[in-house]
């Protein structure tokens, strides 16, 4: 696993390329969808952290045009992220948005803690980064993407990433947001959506020295940064800014944070 390619982010700890031994495991064919998360909420009356907080982060072009001028509080480093009152998994872009026509899309606006709660209910767990990367490769060792080294073979889109000039000029006909969790062909092991669309939480605590597990670090329990790992990139990733839709790429966020471009998939032991 890992990559040392120049297009990667050395500061993320993508490299060095190394061998990792894994036991057998199972992993979801798709990310957990809105329909599946709705079943969980209906069965448990679970309230997500975004709902408890009363707001969550939304990419500004997902907001209705009439709302954008009223937004004042933004991040200095990432001004396209806006804290929106009422944004949650049921209203991923805030008031006026809905999942009713998006039940087959990956659930978003869920924190790592929310994802862990779903796993506890469903008898599953979040995959480790090593498991996620191994699964994403679909048998193609060392390749950039789940389907090979070419991003758009024969000019065909293979995942949902930013179309146009990021962050202000989407390509006409493409709207920033998720697509169905199985909208594109699966990889060699029948897994969908392992690149783009929505980031996926993993079990590990994030560390740029992730590869140093043999030196005594336990990525499942050590907390070097206070952030949890994410994999796969999202619809906001673009070659000019964040090409983290590559199989070896990594991301991270605090376990209580939710946003309109992050979800998860589940894993289980081989016999689970």
Of the chain, the percentage scoring pLDDT greater than 90 comes to 76
SS3 of residue 190 by DSSP = coil
Residue 132, Cβ neighbours under 10 Å: how many? 27
Residues 1 and 130: beta-carbon distance below 8 Å: yes
Q: How confident is the model at residue 136 (pLDDT cuts 50, 70, 90)?
A: very high
Where do we find the tokens 């990525």?
219
Beta strands in 221-261 (DSSP E): 228-231, 251-253
Token duo for residue 48: 């997500």
Range in 58-72, 122-136, 156-170, 250-264 the model is least confident about: 58-72
The pLDDT mean for the chain works out to: 90
Question: What average pLDDT score do residues 103-121 get?
Answer: 98
Q: What is the pTM of this model?
A: 0.92
- 263 DSSP β-pair partners: 200
Residue 229 DSSP symbol: E
- Convert the pLDDT of each residue in 10-54 to its tens digit: 888 899 999 989 999 999 999 999 999 999 999 999 999 999 999
- Convert the pLDDT of each residue in 219-249 to its tens digit: 666 666 689 999 999 999 999 888 999 999 9
Q: What is the pLDDT of residue 58?
A: 94
- 203 DSSP β-pair partners: none
Helices 34-44 and 112-122, axial angle in degrees (round to 10): 70
Whether pLDDT at 147 is above 90: yes
Residue range 10-269 forms a domain whose CATH class is alpha beta
Distance CA 160, CA 171 (A): 13
- 164-165 vs 228-231, strand pairing mode: unpaired
Where do we find the tokens 């200095």?
76
Higher per-residue pLDDT: 216 or 8: 8
| CA distance to 5, 35, 74, 177, 252, per residue, from 100 (Å) | 41, 9, 28, 15, 29
Q: What is the pLDDT of residue 271?
A: 80
- Convert the pLDDT of each residue in 89-107 to its tens digit: 999 999 889 999 999 999 9
């Amino acid at each position: 696993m890992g990559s040392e390619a120049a297009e990667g982010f050395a500061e993320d700890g993508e490299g060095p390329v190394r061998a990792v031994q894994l036991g057998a495991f199972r992993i979801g064919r798709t990310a957990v969808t809105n329909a599946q998360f709705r079943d969980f909420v209906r069965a448990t009356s679970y309230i997500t952290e975004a709902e408890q907080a009363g707001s969550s982060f939304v990419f500004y072009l997902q907001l209705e045009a009439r709302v954008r001028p009223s937004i004042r509080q933004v991040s200095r480093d990432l001004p396209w992220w806006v804290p929106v009152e009422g944004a949650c998994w049921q209203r991923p872009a805030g008031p006026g948005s809905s999942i009713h026509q998006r039940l087959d899309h990956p659930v978003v606006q869920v924190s790592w803690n929310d994802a862990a709660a779903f796993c506890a209910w469903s008898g599953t767990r979040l995959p480790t980064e090593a498991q996620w990367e191994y699964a994403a490769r679909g048998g193609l060792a060392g390749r950039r993407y789940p389907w090979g080294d070419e991003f758009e073979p024969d000019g065909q889109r293979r995942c949902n990433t930013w179309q146009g000039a990021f962050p202000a000029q989407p390509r006409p006909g493409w709207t920033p947001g998720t697509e169905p969790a199985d909208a594109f062909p699966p990889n060699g092991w029948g897994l969908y959506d392992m690149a783009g669309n929505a980031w996926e939480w993993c079990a590990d605590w994030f560390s740029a020295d992730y590869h140093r597990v043999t030196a005594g670090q336990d990525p499942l329990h050590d907390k070097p940064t206070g952030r949890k790992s994410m994999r796969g990139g999202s619809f906001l990733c673009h070659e000019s800014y964040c090409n983290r839709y590559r199989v070896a790429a990594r991301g991270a966020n605090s376990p209580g944070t939710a946003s309109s471009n992050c979800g998860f998939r589940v894993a289980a032991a081989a016999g689970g």
